[in-house]
Amino acid sequence: MKLFRVGRTAAALGVVAVSVALAACQSDGDDPTPRLVQVTDVAELGLSGVISVDHAFRLPAGVRVAHYGAHTDGTRVVFGVDPPEGRRADAPGSYGIVTLSDGRLTFRDASQAGALTDYLAIAAAAGGSHLIRVEAVELPPAQCPDIPVTCYRWRITDELMTAGKPRVIATGDRPTAANEVPRPVANGSGVVWLTTDHGIAQVWSYQPGGEPRRIGTQVRPGILSATADQVWVGTPVDDAAIYRLPLSGAAAAIRVALPPTAGLATVAGSRVAFRVDESPQSRALCVADLPDPRTCRKVFTAPDIYALYWLGPDALLVSAPDGYSLVRLDGTISRLPLDYLYLVHSDGGRLAFVEQLGDIQVLVVGHLES
């Protein structure tokens, strides 16, 4: 991974011209910035009793949120945009920022030709929220003959959300498989991410205004989570462990054993959640207290568990064959159909996600109901 000094800047991002697709938005006089329309009847979102909706904006026809979903800092919500059909390979992708107070939508271009905004994170800093974006450019198979899946060239940028002037902070030094493109994870005042080379991961930490620091090497790739002062890497089932690294980078990774067959481990606060394979037809979601998680509490079972996400200190979103379930540690389980909710992100207790209503996507910001 190549690092970029603070003084290096990427080209300034321009505002993409408002297309015909934005005709469904409102605008004020000569102000060219479109304003999204709020959903007035939030009951049609089907979230009553589970998620309290603070904002719900209908996106214009033809604008679709990219696969990673959205993030919010409480003032704005930001999302990558799926490229339109027929897009030129060298055309930069775009990402959208919506101001929650008035629904104004601004599009910005990626900083390199052919790049799409792949993953996002938001870091808080004294001067305001910083948007950390991963830009990925798909490469032709001839440029990555040793990679059997789609491969990419990637870079990570940092920009003050209100300024729109990104600075490149890191870039990949080789073609990278799709599942190895870094995914930044926020830890409050900064972000962390993994880079992988031949099955070995390195862990990096970054704070706005500084430079990325390598805080861990020789770690098995896995699911990354972060708390205020530590980074956690949940490894595959055959290891049944999670690895702890201090953000200070002053110590080697510490292996913390999990129950046998544990996987998908992720940490929030002083708890770790993970999947346990009880039988070929049954999976359980378990939650345990750190620092010794070998004794856990089963809070959910399903024929399989595909993914799990902490949405707060005592609630998880679980993906299973019958759809999504919001699982609270008090035993309450609320089921949501797969068509309702996907790729939810929690930022400081605020949730940002996309819901499909017919042919239109709705960008939602809310919080868990108590």
Q: What is d(CA 158, CA 130) in angstroms, rounded to the nearest whole number?
A: 7
264: Cβ–Cβ under 8 A, 6 or more apart, which residues?
223, 234, 274, 275, 305, 307, 308
What pLDDT score was predicted for residue 101? Answer: 95
Tell how far CA 49 is from the center of its chain: 25
DSSP state of 174: S
DSSP state of 77: E
- Of 202, 252, 232, nearest to 293 (Cα)? 232
Q: What is d(CA 210, CA 6) in angstroms, rounded to the nearest whole number?
A: 7
pLDDT tens digits for range 241-277: 999 999 887 678 889 999 989 999 999 999 999 999 9
DSSP state of 78: E
CA angle 147, 216, 259 (to 5 degrees): 85
What pLDDT score was predicted for residue 289? Answer: 95
Q: What is d(CA 231, CA 213) in angstroms, rounded to the nearest whole number?
A: 13
Cβ contact 286:299 at 8 Å: yes
CA angle 190, 80, 266 (to 5 degrees): 45
Q: What is d(CA 49, CA 335) in angstroms, rounded to the nearest whole number?
A: 11
pTM: 0.87
What pLDDT score was predicted for residue 14? Answer: 31
Q: What is d(CA 301, CA 126) in angstroms, rounded to the nearest whole number?
A: 43
Taking phi first (over 0 means left), then psi (-120 to 50 degrees means alpha), and beta for anything else, what does residue 331 get?
A: left
| pLDDT-wise least confident of 85-89, 92-96, 168-172 | 85-89
Band the pLDDT of 112: cuts 50, 70, 90.
Answer: confident
The token pair that represents 26 in the structure block:
């409102």
